[in-house]
Amino acid sequence: MERTFIAIKPDGVQRGLIAEIISRFERKGFKLVAIKIVVPSKEFAQKHYHDLKERPFFDGLCDFLSSGPVIAMVWEGEGVIKYGRKLIGATDPQKSEPGTIRGDLAVVVGRNIIHGSDGPETAKDEINLWFKPDELMATKPLSREEIANTEKKLDMP
């Protein structure tokens, strides 16, 4: 089943938005398969954002990601990479639609509270960068019927 890497950045953690953000992914029907709280080093942040190293904001971005606790997560579900980005909204919160996480909860691009992998390759690389294989739960994914039918008792692992 498809998996993506999602991180609540230091501003989201500091503002007390952890539960709000997790709740949006859970209510959609995605499944949390790994989670930890960690303060990344600057070197680690540079690895995470390596594809942006030529951008003028790279240094500030890496300083910021390493400035405090981050909630690192892996979420699983059908279409979770693309739809996770939809839940998150556009990079610049001024351009994010209302109803998205950034649209509802953030104001400026440098403090946009959440990260989500932008494709299958980056999802794989980012999950491997942030997590060891034994930190990922081998869960039974919810079927479409289970997501749609709240009456049915869930057969959870």
Interacting partner of 79 out of ligand GTP, Mg ion, none (Cβ under 5 to 8 A depending on kind): none
Do 139 and 81 form a contact (C-beta atoms < 8 A)? Answer: no
Beta strands 3-8 and 31-38 are unpaired
Tell me how many residues contact Mg ion (CB under 5 A): 1
| 8 Å CB contact between 125 and 22 | no
Nearer to ligand GTP, 31 or 115 (CB): 115
Q: Is 50 a catalytic residue?
A: no
Pick between residue 118 and residue 135 the one whose CB is nearest to Mg ion.
Answer: 118
Q: Which helix (H) or strand (E) holds 68?
A: none
Q: Please state the closest distance from residue 132 (CB atom) to ligand GTP, in A.
A: 22
Query: Which residue in the block uniquely carries the two structure tokens 């594809």?
Result: 51
Site for ligand GTP in 93-152 (CB under 6 A): 109-110, 112, 115-116, 118
Site for ligand GTP in 75-94 (CB under 6 A): 91
Tell me how crowded residue 92 is: count the other CB atoms within 10 A of its CB.
Answer: 14
- Residue 39 CA, chain-centre distance (Å), reads 16
Tell me which residues are annotated as active site.
115
Output the known binding site for ATP: 9, 57, 85, 91, 102, 112
